[in-house]
Structure 1
Amino acid sequence: MKLNKILLLSTIVISLLNSCTEKHFADSEILLDGAWRVKTSDSIKYSTSAYEDSTWIEIDEQKPLDVQGFRDYDGIVWYRYHVVIPSSVKNKAVMKKISFHLGQIDDSDRFYLNGHLIGSNGELGLNPADSLKSFAQVSRVYEMDINDKRILWDRENTIAIRVVDFGGGLGMNSPAFITTSHIKLRNLLSTSFNTKWKFIMADSINFSREDYDDKKWTIIDAGQEWETAGFPDYDGYAWYRQCFDVPKSLTKYFTDQTVLEFNLGKIDDYDQVYLNGQLIGENNKDIHSLKQDLNNNFKKGNSWANTPRRYRISVDDPRFHRHSSNLIAIRVFDSGGGGGMIERPGSVKIVSPDEQLLLDYSKFLSINKANKLDTVVLIKNRASSSFTGSVSYSFWKKKTKELFAVGASRIVLKPMDSTWFRISVPQTLDELHFSFKVSDAKDAVLISERKNIPFVLKN
């Protein structure tokens, strides 16, 4: 490598921080760095806002206490931190949640906010089964409702963490930050299918239509072979139908970029899934084009009986009724043995933005033709609909929290399309943080990530 202007600070290990600075970064995130204090004794009063901690020892929360003057100490230690949480954070809380990301803590912990216990991971003496169990490899994330009265908006909040160490490393060792919970939504918002479906052993494209009268169909419990549900020795075509409503608890979170996932469980052997008369998927593959014709090509090849079926569709797709009931119709072909919806269908859920958009940092640091360091991020749209939005980046000086360089660009990605985003790293003698965000067309932040630049770039 010819890049002689790079001074290596440490081993080149890129760590994802998912954070930002308190004073200068976007309203949706607050970095909790510097001004952490610790004390190696134990009292519940340490959790309260009124307690005076000015005499406590200041430490770096990103390093274990073992290397900060607490070598060979095992036992209980308290961390405290004071932070003002601006009410503007609420405007960025798409999911009406706020998360406290504390990183890994060695070994167990209890997390308090303003004297109130919010959550814990193990605790010596509280649960005998966990007394000697280390949670050192668990990344701590404690979530609260955005309207929780224990949060003091536009006022100072006291974070207190009671840590118990059983030996070896001690305490916090990762960056800590607060963010609105718009990043990790998977499995949080969903509505379940009814276990009972309309069922018929026949085959017609009319069975997919919304106006088809299925009152004479049999009611069957999904989650078992149709042979065990009273239809023995049958191989061939059959249809399942069910109407469902998407509750307001889901629709209130819909945006132009929202994608729904239908989890239908395992189906033996082959399937085609219709939504409101239109084909949306077959054999676990999404269908993006609008077509309604009945074809039998889907039952070729090996059986899909052991594959859970998941199909995705945008809420803006004309095949989905955003403001009224929807009809799902499943055409099944069984080639022999057991057949049907052999696993109980799960739910319709909102797909997390980080499941829709893939950020690839495998080429995060590279040397360009001008012999300068670049940051490179691959963005891939894994959704069944196009994505329109923007990406933005910021460089921050780690010690001073000073904003060093910024940039932004609009992006349009078709389904399964991808693009590289390349940024030259500014030259400076300061250690830098790099922040990268992806926002939708309405500038709501979908994904926010942060990395260390493990070099100082000389002039």
Structure 2
Amino acid sequence: MTSRFIIVYVLILTAFGSSELKAADWKSLISLNGSWQFTVGDDPAWADPATDVRDWDVIQAPKAWEHYYEDYNGYGWYRKNFSLNWIPETGMVHLFLGYIDDADEVFVNGQKVGQSGGFFPNYETAYNLERNYLVPVALLNKTKNVIAVRVFDEGRDGGIVRADKFGLYYDRDQAQMAFDLSGTWKFTTDNFGNMHDPQTSDEQWDDIYVPMTWESQGYADYNGRAWYRKRFSLPETLKGEELYLVLGKIDDYDVVYLNGYKIGQVEDLDTYSRFQRGNAYSLYRIYKIPSNLLKSKNLLSVEVEDVFQDGGIYEGPVGIMRGDDVSQFREKIRWQEKNWGWNSFFRDLIRLLD
């Protein structure tokens, strides 16, 4: 790469990065940068917070473990204790762990919250995926929290190698939802027919976290159609109000059904342009909910088509919003969508130069 390209590359990364930070209104709960306890080897008991790890080494993260264990390839475990000054009352928080080389499993207070890549005998690298795991607030305590990260490295750099965001974060936009729909949904890539019919069973479908790319949840390199489902009961306090469904950002195209009836698709959005169809993944999905469709028990069904790279309902907020709050939220995101063209240009140019 020539020096001219390097200069352009750095400038583009700076501009693109500053725009991307506006994609969500993150509140940092705690930074995890710094000292972690670490050991090589592999033992499932190390996920248990009660396991004594006082004889483990102390290393810095994020930083490739080769700085401490030259030429080491294999299994390694990270552990860190932390306390929190504030915990949201309900919902989820995001655990950002940057880029881990190659595969990882993550546990918070003994409970598995995510995995990227695969371990032997079904090894699969995920070195190029940013780790973003959803953690139920019910798992968290004010004190004596333990995060454990199991890592397998197949070659070259290993471990938690780098990160832009590294810690626990809360999406303030999610707090604007009158009813939170983030968390565990049902998911499948198989078309069984009548996919949006409430009578069609989804008991055998996989569980998946929303919002998060499906690539980071066991569907690496999958491009095509997939179906999401979420069953929910509407609180009495929201009945009779003007309500909107907010599905954050979806990569790439979506069609949304409520109780078997179509209520929207990306082509219906005012910000959608058929001349820039490839921009669809950058648009916030906000669909008005017809009041006559809501019942005490409801089924939300979302069909997603992904054509390239990451796929799925990948960024929040996700939930139901009161009509009075929608205008303010739309104004907040207007700048992001208005300036998406520059972000797209930067992203495509970076791909060409990389």
Structure with greater helix share of residues: 2
CA radius of gyration, larger in? 1
Q: TM-score, normalised by structure 1?
A: 0.40
